[in-house]
Every structure is written in structure tokens, then in C-alpha cells.
């Protein structure tokens, strides 16, 4: 697993041993960022269920101004911090505009300071149906001041989400039990 584009392209990302995380594949992340294209440069992001931080770190590599990672597992957060250090070193920037919070994404404050334009959500697949509606409800409130936020939600191909107040505008990937990403914008 590595950063697939931008100025930190090729930087390897570490993950904890075992099944604590299910990192987004390089190919899927590359497709997500090809779809987001010019929206990334200068944007702020929120990376929920951050895991190794691959989505947010990819955004930093591609010119995001900063953002927040939220991950509740301290062992996973340790890997995320190492990955953040490696990416920031490659970009020759400090991490002052980036926060890593060891909190539960379903209850943590979603906005601290700057309102994000991009939100990446990659929860454990087995909890998506129980947390999706709550997350979108909380995002509606948290992103009220954002001009045109985009929520990128990774989920298995057989799952469909129809959150109140949000519309799926694009879906990448297909196939039952295959990772896909749905892009949501306010309806």
C-alpha cells in the first residue's frame, strides 16, 4: 500500500498487523482522487474511521491544505501517525494543519475549526447499516457552512445508501462483496 499520486507519490503506508484495519486499495483510492480532481487542491478534509489514513494522506499528497483524521483504535492511530510523518516529510511540510484524534467517529466532534469540503468515510463494512444514517445526520449539521461538500463513502458493492438530505452523484467500482465508493452531495 502506498500513496498513488501527488508530491508524495510512492511513499509506502504501514498498517498494523492482523485484521484491525481494511485499508482502501491503491486502485480504488486512485479512482476516487481522479474523480475528485481539482476539488482537492487547497481543500480541508475529514477522514472518518481513518485507519492507516490512506484517504486523508492521499489528499495531502495531492495538495489539500489540511484536515482531521478520526480513528478510535490507539494501535491503528500509532500507524497513522507514522504514515503522516512520512508523508509530511516527503512533502517538506509540517503537520500543523492536520489533526489526529483518537475518538469514535460516530460520537466525535466532526468539525474543529475549519469546515471541511471533503469527507472520507471508510467504516468497517459490518457496521455500515447501523452507523450510516447517524453519520449523514451529523454531517448535515457539521457541514452546514460548507459551500458544496463532497462525502466519499466506501462500502461493499451490494450495499445502497439513501441518506436523508444527500444524493449519490457517482459510484466507483461494482460487484457483490467488492469495495466501491459512493460520492454524496447535499440534495
Domain residue ranges in the chain: 26-186
Query: CA-based Rg of the chain, rounded to a whole angstrom?
Result: 15
pTM assigned to the model? 0.95
CATH 3.40.50.2300 holds for 26-186: no
Rounded Cα distance, 164 and 47, in Å: 21
Q: How far separated are the first and last CA of the chain, in Å rounded?
A: 34
Stretch (H or E) spanning 142: helix 128-142
Task: Assess contact for 120 and 149: CB atoms under 8 A.
Answer: no
The residue among 63, 66, 40, 50 whose CA lies nearest residue 13 is 50
pLDDT (tens place) for every residue of the chain, 187 residues total: 899 999 999 999 999 887 777 778 888 999 999 999 999 999 999 999 999 999 999 999 999 999 999 999 999 999 999 999 999 999 999 989 999 999 999 999 988 889 999 999 999 999 999 999 999 999 999 999 999 999 999 999 999 999 999 999 999 988 788 899 999 999 9
**Across-strand partners of 155?**
180
Task: Assess contact for 35 and 56: CB atoms under 8 A.
Answer: no
The residue among 53, 56, 77 whose CA lies nearest residue 67 is 56
Burial bucket for residue 6 (CB in 10 Å: 0-12, 13-18, 19+): buried
Rounded Cα distance, 54 and 4, in Å: 10
Cell digits for 9?
A: 507519490
Amino acid at each position: 500500500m502506498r500513496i498513488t499520486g501527488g508530491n508524495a507519490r510512492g511513499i509506502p503506508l504501514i498498517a498494523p498487523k492482523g485484521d484491525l484495519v481494511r485499508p482502501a486499495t491503491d486502485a480504488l483510492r486512485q479512482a476516487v482522487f481522479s474523480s475528485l480532481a481539482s476539488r482537492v487542491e487547497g481543500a480541508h478534509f475529514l477522514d472518518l474511521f481513518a485507519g492507516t489514513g490512506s484517504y486523508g494522506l492521499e489528499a495531502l499528497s495531492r495538495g489539500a491544505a489540511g484536515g482531521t483524521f478520526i480513528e478510535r483504535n490507539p494501535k491503528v492511530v500509532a500507524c497513522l501517525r507514522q504514515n503522516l510523518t512520512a508523508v509530511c516529510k516527503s512533502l517538506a511540510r509540517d503537520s500543523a494543519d492536520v489533526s489526529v484524534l483518537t475518538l469514535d467517529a460516530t460520537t466525535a466532534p466532526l468539525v474543529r475549526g475549519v469546515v471541511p469540503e471533503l469527507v472520507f468515510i471508510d467504516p468497517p463494512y459490518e457496521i455500515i447499516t447501523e452507523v450510516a444514517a447517524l453519520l449523514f445526520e451529523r454531517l448535515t449539521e457539521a457541514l452546514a457552512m460548507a459551500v458544496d461538500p463532497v462525502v466519499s463513502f466506501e462500502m461493499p458493492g451490494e450495499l445502497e445508501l439513501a441518506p436523508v438530505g444527500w444524493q449519490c452523484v457517482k459510484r466507483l467500482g461494482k460487484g457483490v462483496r467488492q469495495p466501491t465508493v459512493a460520492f454524496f452531495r447535499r440534495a
